[in-house]
Structure 1
Amino acid sequence: MGYIGDRMARRKKVYEGKAKILYEGPEPGTLIQYFKDDGQVDAKPQGAVEGKGVLNNRLSEFFMSGLNSIGVPTHFIKRLNMREQMVRMAEMMPLEVVVRNYAAGGMTERLGIPLGTALPRPIVEYYFKDEKLGNPLVSEEHIVAFGWGNQQDLDDIIALALRVNDFMTGVMLGVGVRLADFRLEVGRVWEGEFMRLIVADEISPDSCRLWDIRGLDLSEREDQGRDPVPLAEVYTELARRLGVLPSNVTHTTKPTLIN
């Protein structure tokens, strides 16, 4: 552990968030993304969750690689080790893009739609990334007016988000999980003289609301105050179902996957 700690200390840190650390990459235009064990639910810190960083590294690799393979551009280049992956450097837009398939969370609170209601179509929402302000919901008008993006950017974001949703929904249904909603972050990269938008950050249980199709009872869980499934079990079970569970993660149980 001392060697790993010394090696990490020698690298130049670019950014540290609740769940990840970014370091300068070995090649121009690249970064090393290190996944921490710190957990969060609905953007609220939950303390360290043993093995979470290892699992999220594998899960994000699985989803990003799958998107790359179907032509959805992402920042992912390759996984380097159990906790790190190499990614493309991108100019991040100051937005969280949320795709909702079922009513939950803020949508039920704002609009009074019953929890678990299937939406007539996937709904794309935008949130301004500022934790001090509570990451407020914003409209396309705000985004264009304040220069966070133009109309072409918004068209591209929607196209990206809906393609990711199609892919993720299908993958999750294949392992008995309903994707209620998820969030994306989008970055700009230059390819020659042309700028394009790509999916950046990560795709993992940290950024998804997942409901197990088998025996799902939303009312008991969220309305009647049932204790949530421990985060470690959620990450482990999803990795097991998708076939990406690392051999050194041993806290495998049989939870109901609800996040």
Structure 2
Amino acid sequence: MTPDHGELLYEGKAKRVFALPDPGQVLVEYKNDATAFNAQKKAQLEDKGRLNCQISARLFELLAVAGIPTHYVGLAGETWMVVQRVEIIPLEVVLRNIATGSLCRQTPIAQGTQLDPPLLDLYYKDDALGDPLLTDARVRLLGVADEARLSAIEQLARRVNGLLLAFFDAIDLQLVDFKLEMGLNAAGDLLLADEISPDTCRLWDRRTGDVDDRILDKDRFRKDLGGVMEAYGEVLKRVQASTSNPVNCL
């Protein structure tokens, strides 16, 4: 069932955002669209929206209990989430615990290298530019965030990483790396936003040693490995089992 909502405010690759009567909140619909390589590869994957919405809701609530400020308010359906309205900071914050992907393509660091401390990378959120990697100096040049805001973003991201590492480890999942987005609400508070799901996290299954079978994230779609929704479903099953309390439904 589609909850009542106002006008469509924004549509991205994976979600739609709708207005609500409360100007401080918006309604987010998680779509079944799958994209990779800056939307050069596209597909419709049945049930993807529901799986990502439910995983994200449980992880947002887990983080909120630990004191992480998030935009999450509650679920409004299987694929619908009410969140605080935020102005997204145009930075993609990537935490890397294990070297893989672009880090290994762009540097001589070997695949699978444990990164201690975890590497934090900042990318400019702009599809037309290909979300380029930024230096601190470029962040300042662009006026995206000042020193105090950058420090707050890094501190929040590293707190989230520590909590998620421990949580996923307890359910036999290895958090390889992941992307976060943050925004400011009407009061100017810095909040964790967007989603936390197999679309935005690289997750490896500790219960298998096979380098392909262990992948339980969007790399299955990127690499044409098949079984994408089965992998996402396995992540939700383990997350649900470890967060037995029902999520906040409005």
TM (norm. structure 2) is 0.87
Asked if 1:202 corresponds to 2:202, the answer is no
How many residues of Structure 1 are paired with residues of Structure 2 in the alignment?
235
SS in 1 for 2:190: strand
CA distance in 1, matches of 2:109, 2:213: 17
CA distance in 2, matches of 1:221, 1:74: 29
Q: Of 201, 204, 211, which residue of structure 2 is paired with 1:211?
A: 204
CA distance in 1, matches of 2:138, 2:227: 37
Ranges in structure 1 where 5+ consecutive residues have no aligned partner? 245-259
Q: What is the aligned partner in structure 2 of residue 73 from structure 1?
A: 69
Asked if 1:236 corresponds to 2:233, the answer is yes
Letter in 1 for 2:10: Y
Deviation at 1:227, TM superposition (A): 5.2
Asked if 1:31 corresponds to 2:31, the answer is no
Q: Kindly tell me: are residues 198 and 228 of structure 1, through their superposed partners in 2, closer, same or farther at Cα, counting changes over 3 Å?
A: same
Deviation at 1:170, TM superposition (A): 1.1
CA distance in 2, matches of 1:199, 1:208: 15
Q: Kindly tell me: are residues 123 and 199 of structure 1, through their superposed partners in 2, closer, same or farther at Cα, counting changes over 3 Å?
A: same
Ranges in structure 2 where 5+ consecutive residues have no aligned partner? 216-222, 242-250
Q: What is the aligned partner in structure 1 of residue 127 from structure 2?
A: 131
Residues 40 and 206 in structure 1, CA contact (< 8 A), matched pair in contact too:
no
Deviation at 1:189, TM superposition (A): 2.0
Deviation at 1:40, TM superposition (A): 3.1
**1:24-69 Cα distance to aligned partner (Å, 9 max, x none):** 0231210001000112346544411111111111111001111111
Q: Kindly tell me: are residues 176 and 149 of structure 1, through their superposed partners in 2, closer, same or farther at Cα, counting changes over 3 Å?
A: same
Q: Kindly tell me: are residues 138 and 232 of structure 1, through their superposed partners in 2, closer, same or farther at Cα, counting changes over 3 Å?
A: same
Q: What is the aligned partner in structure 2 of residue 113 from structure 1?
A: 109
Deviation at 1:229, TM superposition (A): 4.3
Q: Kindly tell me: are residues 171 and 133 of structure 1, through their superposed partners in 2, closer, same or farther at Cα, counting changes over 3 Å?
A: same
Q: Which has the larger radius of gyration?
A: 1
Q: Of 7, 11, 22, which residue of structure 2 is paired with 1:16?
A: 11
Q: Kindly tell me: are residues 119 and 229 of structure 1, through their superposed partners in 2, closer, same or farther at Cα, counting changes over 3 Å?
A: farther
TM (norm. structure 1) is 0.84
Residues 212 and 225 in structure 2, CA contact (< 8 A), matched pair in contact too:
no
**1:177-223 Cα distance to aligned partner (Å, 9 max, x none):** 100000000101243xxx2211011111110011111223438989x
CA distance in 1, matches of 2:68, 2:214: 35
